[in-house]
Amino acid sequence: MNSPHEHRPSWDTERLPAGRDKVVAVRQMFDAIAPRYDLVNRLMTFGLDVIWRRRAVRDLALPPGSLVIDLASGTGDLCIELRKRGHRPLSFDLSLGMLQQDRSGSPRTQSDILRLPLADHSVDGAICGFALRNLLDLPDFFAELARVVRPGGRISLLDVGRPTNPLIRAGNAIHFGKVVPLIGRLLSDGAAYRYLPKSVAYLPPSHEILDILRANGFADAQHHQLSGGLTQLFVATRNH
């Protein structure tokens, strides 16, 4: 079964878009895959994504009642975890289609997370799941985090990883190169799920991401490999 979107991909899966083209392509892609996003996520990660999100929320290490922004919140899975730990989440995402699928009950705002409609130092924490590689400019994003998170506040950022173990890396390459596009084609949008493995190329190596975080107000930034490096997590405290 081909998806209704299969015949008109708005992005070129062979060439990664750049600049404003990337912003438009990313928004259109997530609008297209929003209805089946959660289902495909669970299948393609064998449910591990739930464990990774739980870990990201736990490592925020903020007390219950904290005001936490979920950036590029998608369908709101991280907001659900945040609420379970007693936090007060706010969702921000570029894609109206994704925000419409958000069942977390948190207040939702359509916004580019590089330019947040929030006052300086107005939140206790920020979390971001699987979106770093979709952003135009990581230094800009980290500077925006440093602007809105209060001194002593915390951030927790998840994204796909690059496993160092050769066996896990080979298995991961087959999974993302063959299995994920197949699941995507059968259940959602083939072009979008062919783009997904390629989009990892946008992500700098973890040591560079740490350097950018440390230079932008998060001096204690740390990196953790999850599930053998299938996923990575960056956690940090906003400098005082």
Ligand X SMILES: C[S@@+](CC[C@H](N)C(=O)[O-])C[C@H]1O[C@@H](n2cnc3c(N)ncnc32)[C@H](O)[C@@H]1O
DSSP letter for each residue of 48-64: HHHHHHHHHHHTT---T
Question: Which residue stretch of 87-95, 148-156, 167-175, 212-220 sits at the interface with ligand X (rule: CB under 6 A)?
Answer: 87-95
Q: How far is the CB of 30 from ligand X (least distance, A)?
A: 4
114 part of the interface to ligand X, by CB under 6 A: yes
Nearer to ligand X, 69 or 213 (CB): 69
Q: Quick one: 138 or 236, whose CB is closer to ligand X?
A: 138
Of positions 69, 82, 113, 160, contacts ligand X by CB under 6 A: 113
Distance, in Å, from the CA atom of 113 to the CA atom of 209, rounded to the nearest integer, reads: 17
Q: Does 94 bind ligand X (CB under 6 A)?
A: yes
Window 7-66: residues binding ligand X (CB under 6 A): 26, 30
CB 6 within 8 A of CB 191: yes
Query: Does 130 participate in binding ligand X (rule CB under 6 A)?
Result: yes
Q: 74 vs 197, which CB is nearer to ligand X? A: 74
Q: Tell whether residue 74 is a contact of ligand X (CB under 6 A).
A: yes
Q: Report the residue from 25, 72, 146, 180 that binds ligand X according to the rule CB under 6 A.
A: 72
Asked if 78 is part of the footprint of ligand X (rule: CB under 6 A), the reply reads yes
Q: Give the residue with the Cβ less far from ligand X, 56 or 213.
A: 56
Instruction: Tell me which residue has tokens 């890396």.
Output: 169
β-sheet bridge partners, residue 154? 125, 237
Residue selected from 9, 89, 125, 129 as contacting ligand X according to rule CB under 6 A: 129
Size of the site for ligand X (CB under 6 A): 19
Question: Helix H segments across the chain?
Answer: 19-33, 37-44, 48-58, 77-84, 96-100, 138-148, 166-174, 180-187, 190-199, 206-215
Q: Of the candidates 66, 91, 104, 134, which one interacts with ligand X according to CB under 6 A?
A: 134
Stretch that binds ligand X, among 11-19, 57-65, 111-119, 228-236 (CB under 6 A): 111-119
Burial class (CB in 10 A: 0-12, 13-18, 19+), 162: middle
Closer CB to ligand X, 83 or 239, in the complex: 83
Residue 95 contacts ligand X per CB under 6 A = yes
Q: Give backbone dihedrals phi and psi of 38, rounded to 5 degrees, phi first.
A: -65, -45
Q: Is 72 left (phi over 0), alpha (psi -120 to 50) or beta?
A: left
Contact 149, 126 (CB under 8 A): yes
The separation between the first and the last C-alpha atoms of the chain, rounded to the nearest angstrom, is: 54
